[in-house]
Amino acid sequence: MTTMIAPSELRLTRARVGLPRLLWAELRWIFRRPRTRVMLGLLAVIPVIIGIVLTFADGGPTGDADPPVFVTLASSALALPIGALTVLMSLLLPLAITNSSGDALAGEQANGTLRGWLLAPVSRGRLLLVKAFGVAVVGLVAAGLVGTTGVLTGLVSNGTDGLITLSGTTLPLLDALGRVAIAVGWVTVQLWALGAVALAISACTEHPMLVLATVLGGVIVSQLLLVFDSLAWLHPFLLPSSWESMINLVRDPIWWDGLGEGLVRAACYMVIGLSLAYARIVTSDG
Amino acid sequence: MQPKTKGIAVAVTGTTAGLVGLLVMTLPADADQEPELPELSATELVESALTAKAPAFEGTVEVTNDLGLPSLPALPGLGLANAESARIYHDGDDGARLSVQRGSTEFTAVTGPDGTWTYDSESNTATKYPGVDPTETVPRHGGLSDPARAATEIIDVLSDSSTVTIDGTARVADRDAYELVLTPKPSERTLLREVTVAIDAATKLPLRFEVMPNGSPEPVVSAGFTEFDVTAQPDELFAFTPPRDADVTTADPDKARKALPKHADPSQALDDVGEALGGSLSVTGSGWDTVLTGAVPEEAFAEAAERLNELGGPDGPPETTALDVLNQFGERFSEGGVSGTEFTTHAGTGVVTDDGRFAVGAVPRQVLIEALEQQ
């Protein structure tokens, strides 16, 4: 193995490994992990559980003839997926994305498999791109699964009518599906922001647990800080401060203000996270 | 470039860009700018505001207050102290839609070709107001056949107690606006410094209303648009069909119609409120140092005391009496033969005397006591 590789040969090898193949390999690598599948499966089940609980709450054990309104509204194909995304956003979806980011760099560092990447004729920037792509896909799949099972549960329990907004208007099914798609997309972008920060930490350590603890700790502390009015000056800097505006998708017409702000905030976090991750990967000596 | 230098450069650039982005979002758009607008006199501005016809627009309204009310967790109905935001849509004609955000629920009122409807998502009830001409719900400045004269009259009435001026211009909701300022005359004994109304330069609609107290640059009450866009609005916004499963009720048309003009008359409204409280209310003084006096409904405090006792539970503090409730949130005073409890906020004072009378106003305590002594 001590034979020198001619520079021309190296360039040849580099050209042969196309980016799509690298990305595809990374995805296979991620989705072959049992923990990824179990985690995504559990996330997909949660809207179903919420839907069942809400459906059986009316006329349930108490025999209440007039169930509270939020019950009939909340199990519709519009409110259930958006509500489920909002609930899961506070902890479980960040857990999924952080877990994946932790595995991406720190986990591979711990297994020693990252060394292969660093030695391979793949530039460091491309390595980060591939890893970030894997994490991004996990975020999209997680949010998409929650949205999909939410819509399906809502359709089964409530049918296609009763897609009532908070403003008292009834939406056609396509319109409601569009809003759920927007919600899924919006949540995905928020998850990417968390994923970018998690990748930066992941690049600095070889303990995936540390990534998980730091980012989830950050999410929880941010949500705690949002409770205090006296810290209002700090709130615009905290990522979770726009998570509550998801409910604006159930209003008619949609209130975009908070949602747009949330996207800009997420983009800022992404830029910070990815630039730090890149800096760390470029300077690390493998 | 060395990988290390490159890495550091990227980290610094990226982090700076991200932080600047976050910082920019916290900055108010252009609050401190004072746009250049043609000179107008106060009378002209009021006149054009009176004749202004609302164009089709959509906007977000926010109401904030900093009254410094004592927080009364045990008493209901004080949630008003929280900031609320609402969206308003107007079609430039008779159609309008108002959505008030209340946490995760919403209250919507729609006026349009289908009549006037309200919908409360918390209780899932829709209410129809038949026979109410939507134009009646908005006071149409009745009898203002000559806006120029009306404007002069309004300014005249106001100038008994206040100085009405245009104090420069401001940017409100990203629009140019005139600031109409009402300042109390020196003879007025009030806790308020001034009231400002920002009037949009283009549409002449009021965009913001602020009440400023003495000795603080922050308004005690501020209500205004944070967003205001003049654009055509889709027709379906002003139509309303109650959703399936909603409780639909119809308000009594006679009652609804009667209620409108009645409450348009302030003295009648005062009597109604007094009736509801179980005593009569009276007004002393005029202008900025107007004081409202009346008798305290005894049940009100008995109920509050009961509620506090319930909250305390069996292990709670000893029985609270009505007087304790008052003393918990106010301060005892005794002055000129009147003793009782005083409550102060940033914009006004209220006293409850030991013999069961009360007085409130945007004035210091002595003025309240004088008003009580005149009774």
The beta-carbon neighbor of B18 closest among A162, A272, A278 is A272
Chain A residues closer than 8 Å to B246 by CB: 164, 168
Other residues' Cβ atoms within 10 Å of the Cβ of residue A83: 26
Distance from C-alpha of B194 to C-alpha of B172, rounded to nearest angstrom: 18
> Dihedral, CA atoms, A239, A243, A249, A253, nearest 10 degrees?
-60
- Which three-class secondary structure state does DSSP give residue B63? strand
Please give, rounded to a whole number of angstroms, the shortest distance from the CA of B22 to a CA of chain A. Answer: 6
> Over 60: is that where the pLDDT of B312 sits?
no
- Which three-class secondary structure state does DSSP give residue B19? helix
Distance from C-alpha of B332 to C-alpha of B326, rounded to nearest angstrom: 9
Please give, rounded to a whole number of angstroms, the shortest distance from the CA of B51 to a CA of chain A. Answer: 30
**Is A221 within 8 Å of A93 (Cβ atoms)?**
no
Interface A-B, measured as beta-carbon pairs within 8 A, has a size of 114
CA distances from B147 to A5, B140, B157 (A): 92, 12, 15
Q: Which of A146-150, B234-238, B302-306, B310-314 has the lowest mean pLDDT?
A: B310-314
Of B345, B330, B291, give the one whose Cα is nearest residue B65: B345
> Can you give the pLDDT at residue B126?
86
Domain boundary assignment for chain A: 18-283
Is B8 an 8 Å CB contact of chain A? yes
CA distances from B138 to A83, B91, B155, B187 (A): 37, 15, 22, 34
pLDDT tens by residue, B109-119:
888 877 888 88
Please give, rounded to a whole number of angstroms, the shortest distance from the CA of B172 to a CA of chain A. Answer: 17
- Band of residue B131 on the pLDDT scale cut at 50, 70, 90: low
Beta strand B281-284 with B247-250 is unpaired
Q: Which residues are CB-neighbours of A120 under 8 A, at least 6 positions away? A: none
**Is B241 within 8 Å of B116 (Cβ atoms)?**
no
Parts of chain B belonging to CATH 2.50.20.10: 42-259
**Positions in chain A whose pLDDT score sits under 70:** 1-16, 57-73, 285-286
The ipTM estimated for the assembled molecules is 0.80
The beta-carbon neighbor of A162 closest among B19, B105, B245 is B245
> Can you give the pLDDT at residue A70?
47
The beta-carbon neighbor of A236 closest among B22, B240, B245 is B22
Q: Given this structure, which CATH class describes domain B42-259? A: mainly beta
Distance from C-alpha of B354 to C-alpha of B330, rounded to nearest angstrom: 13
Distance from C-alpha of B55 to C-alpha of B45, rounded to nearest angstrom: 18
- Which three-class secondary structure state does DSSP give residue B119? strand
The CB-side HSE value for B296 (13 A sphere, CA atoms) comes to: 22
**Is A178 within 8 Å of A185 (Cβ atoms)?**
no
**Is A179 within 8 Å of A83 (Cβ atoms)?**
no
pLDDT tens by residue, B169-198:
888 888 888 888 888 888 888 888 888 888
Mean pLDDT (chain B, rounded):
76
Sheet arrangement for strand B162-172: B162-172, B175-184, B192-200, B206-213, B221-230, B56-65, B84-91, B96-102, B105-112, B115-120, B125-129, B247-250
Distance from C-alpha of A216 to C-alpha of A227, rounded to nearest angstrom: 17
Beta strand B221-230 with B247-250 is unpaired
Chain B residues closer than 8 Å to A199 by CB: none
> Can you give the pLDDT at residue A56?
76
